Amino acid sequence: MEFGLQMMNHEPARLRDIAQVAEGLGFAFLCVPDHFLYEGPEHQSDPRHPGFDPMLAAAVLAGATTRARIGHLVLCNLFRHPMLTARSLTGLDHLSGGRLVAGLGGGWTEREFTMTGIPFPDVTTRLRMLDEALRCIRGLWTEEQTTFQGEFYRLDGAVHWPKPVQTPHPPILIGGGGKGLLRVAARHADIVNVIVETGRTGYIALGEVAKLTDERFQSRVKFLRDCAREEGRDPGKIQISNVAFTTMLTKSPEETQEKAGMFAPMFGSVEGALRSPNFLIGTPDEMITEIRRRKQTWDIDQTIISFVNEKALRAFGEQVMPHVK
């Protein structure tokens, strides 16, 4: 099992310090999101949450570490032309010595688009745009000149040099939960991070959070692998990633039941909350057991947690990670 850490956009110096602690604990993948506005469930947001450029943040991660892979979970395709995305990610791959994971998605936080005036088409259109952008980026990374005539993007003998350090290109991570997104991922992704569906709603709806159950996660993985097979790819070569947006390390089984009980109404039971892909709650021993279960049942290769505080991070890294292979 590989462990990753998603960090929000802290001040660069703080981000550097967290990255060094995380790498020392054995986290293999360090990533940041890509938002102008950070919005939680049901439109909760803090207008003063730092919003540093994600390329700058990833560069800080690259400079602060020597072993961990770095990248994004995930870049919003609609914020950049694929030529710019390809160039920036190439730079990060060089800066990190070939440690970049290229994370991309179709975009979902509708408020970011309404406040900036950036067009926010329907989810089907966004997914077609993502598919074309990935075709362009892969071409720019692997071809001497790239010509592409699509519905949304056009390249005419486009040149991009240097190429990334990794060949044929950095691994591509795609994040999302809808079947349309998973079809795109089956075509392009090396890693797929399966999360709550947000593409149609334009925000994190608690009703959608509740739908991502243990069983739903498994069915999404099966759907992805079936689509990959239809695309002529080896489904077993696509890594499956799970991000536990809420991670709570408890001191006793009783505290675990208490913490999970806060979310039980959403899932119908405490057990449903404890098995939800959105949460990882328990004592170190309970977490070890649950992560092992997820690895076997969900066929996941990567568990990503969200940074809470350094004390909890160290406890997870020292008491849980070494015991899950």
In the chain, which stretches have pLDDT less than 70?
none
pLDDT given at position 253: 97
**CB neighbours of 84 closer than 8 A, spacing ≥ 6?**
none
Q: Are 217 and 194 in contact (CB under 8 A)?
A: yes
3-class SS letters over 197-243 = CCCCCCCCCHHHHHHCCHHHHHHHHHHHHHHHHHCCCCHHHCEEEEE
pLDDT given at position 46: 86
Q: Are 28 and 3 in contact (CB under 8 A)?
A: yes
Beta bridge partners of 304: 4, 243
pTM for the whole structure: 0.96
Would you state the structure tokens that stand for residue 66, as one six-digit string?
């020597």
Handedness of CA 181, 182, 188, 194 (dihedral sign): positive
pLDDT given at position 148: 98
pLDDT given at position 48: 86
- Distance CA(130)–CA(184), nearest Å, equals 8
Q: Using alpha carbons, select from 183, 98, 200, 89 the residue that is nearest to residue 136.
A: 89
**CB neighbours of 165 closer than 8 A, spacing ≥ 6?**
93, 94, 97, 98
pLDDT given at position 25: 98
